[in-house]
Amino acid sequence: MDIFETLESNVRSYCRSWPATFDRASGSRLYDEDGRAYLDFFAGAGALNYGHNNPVLKRALIAYLERDGVTQGLDMKTAAKRDFLWTLRDLVLEPRGLRYKVMFPGPGGANAVEAALKLARTVTGRSLVVGFTNAFHGMTLGALSVTGNAAKRGAAGVPLQHTTLMPYDGYVDGRITDFALLERLLTDSGSGLDLPAAVIVETVQGEGGLTPARIEWLRGLARLCERHAILLIVDDVQMGCGRTGPFFSFEPAAVQPDIVCLSKSIGGYGLPLALTLVKPELDVWEPGRHNGTFRGINPAFVASAEALRTYWRDDELEKSTLGKGEHVARVLTEVAQAHPEIPMKVKGRGLARGLALPDGEFARRVCRGAFERGLLVETSGPDGEVVKLMPPLTVTRDELDQGLALLTESVEGALE
């Protein structure tokens, strides 16, 4: 038994899927302490869109540390934070015509979600928030209350209240008209549904099984929110920062959410950083009403600003992500077509792709086989039935093909 098993809590999870002891990482690869290389098609659950230890970001970080730049800065003004805010404004918000105030809610995605829910309730004076089936928004109580997964909800230990979950796009296989249910509940004074403060949505459900909402569905949702004066929160923690192609995953729908949650790859180097972006008129916070120690991890500002300057000055990354994503979808479709006797479905958007298999046990066999072959992939979906592929956006075509070949072999292997 090693120290991880004897000392670390039973709650640990990824190390059970990948029982190696990792030591180094570079680009799309992780290396265990014996020097064995693994292609990482999980990318820190979406926190490593620019790859492990990206050399450009690393140089900026080393220079910052060498000159004794502030590391822990609470929410004080620092030069690093100023540079980050300027860069975010100039390269991300203004070119997209987005007017948001930037809130630092704490280091992780769940912090961004908690802040969004609190603010929406404060602004509207209403308590109910609508989430969607199979959504995932994080592990804190507020975020869990808009999360679908029964096992995760079950760990809360208290009733999860003041929320209700509605069918996500495609949930009832197109048998009911989009929003017919929500619209009816909202307009019927006998429905028992209070007017919600907000609706929180992922444009592609990452943990929920790589399920994309159609662009028209997202537009319809935004219109419905507007009609009923409900705030629209887009949780772009996993699908933001270019994972689906554009910087914000909602861009193709041409909607302007009232609140946007960002984390994971906004830190650039895998360092903790989260943002809650809010329309200026909603920024009604009293100073200090949402505080926290780790809201100013300055090395994360440095890496983040450098990542924005390196990858978001033009649309090259977006185009390459869309091209690579199409390639992954083509290969997965070939895998599925090679076995017409087994129901498989290719899901996702951009470089967030999934292969839905008949059940979770099958998907776990595929992921185990992939690990043995040197590829890190994880399952997602309500029963863990979807093999999820999220390589760094900086993955090369060669690495992509190597990983896809290992995955194809793993599916074949799981069939034997």
- Applying CB under 6 A, the residues found at the interface with ligand PLP are 45, 108-110, 113, 136-138, 202, 206-207, 235, 237-238, 263
CB 113 within 8 A of CB 260: no
CB 50 within 8 A of CB 265: yes
Distance CA 179, CA 199 (A): 12
Please identify the residue of the shown chain whose CB is closest to the bound ligand PLP.
109
Q: In Å, how far from its chain's centre is CA 339? A: 31
What number of other Cβ atoms are within 10 A of residue 3's Cβ? 7
Which CB sits closer to ligand PLP, 193 or 351? 351
Rounded to the nearest whole angstrom, what is the least distance from the CB of residue 405 to ligand PLP in the complex?
28
Rounded to the nearest whole angstrom, what is the least distance from the CB of residue 47 to ligand PLP in the complex?
8
What number of other Cβ atoms are within 10 A of residue 36's Cβ? 11
Rounded to the nearest whole angstrom, what is the least distance from the CB of residue 234 to ligand PLP in the complex?
10
Which CB sits closer to ligand PLP, 202 or 385? 202
Rounded to the nearest whole angstrom, what is the least distance from the CB of residue 184 to ligand PLP in the complex?
28
Residues 49-61: b if buried by 16+ CB within 10 A, e if exposed: bbbbebebbeebb
Rounded to the nearest whole angstrom, what is the least distance from the CB of residue 296 to ligand PLP in the complex?
17
Diameter of the chain measured on Cα atoms: 65
The Cα-based distances of 337 to 174, 185, 323, 331 in angstroms read 24, 41, 21, 10
Q: What are residue 376's DSSP bridge partners?
A: 40
Distance CA 265, CA 52 (A): 11
Distance CA 130, CA 300 (A): 32
Rounded to the nearest whole angstrom, what is the least distance from the CB of residue 16 to ligand PLP in the complex?
17
> What angle (nearest 5°) sits at the alpha carbon of residue 393, between those of residues 392 and 397?
95
Which CB sits closer to ligand PLP, 260 or 400? 260
Which CB sits closer to ligand PLP, 49 or 410? 49
Which CB sits closer to ligand PLP, 295 or 365? 295
Which CB sits closer to ligand PLP, 139 or 215? 139
Which CB sits closer to ligand PLP, 321 or 410? 321
Rounded to the nearest whole angstrom, what is the least distance from the CB of residue 409 to ligand PLP in the complex?
28
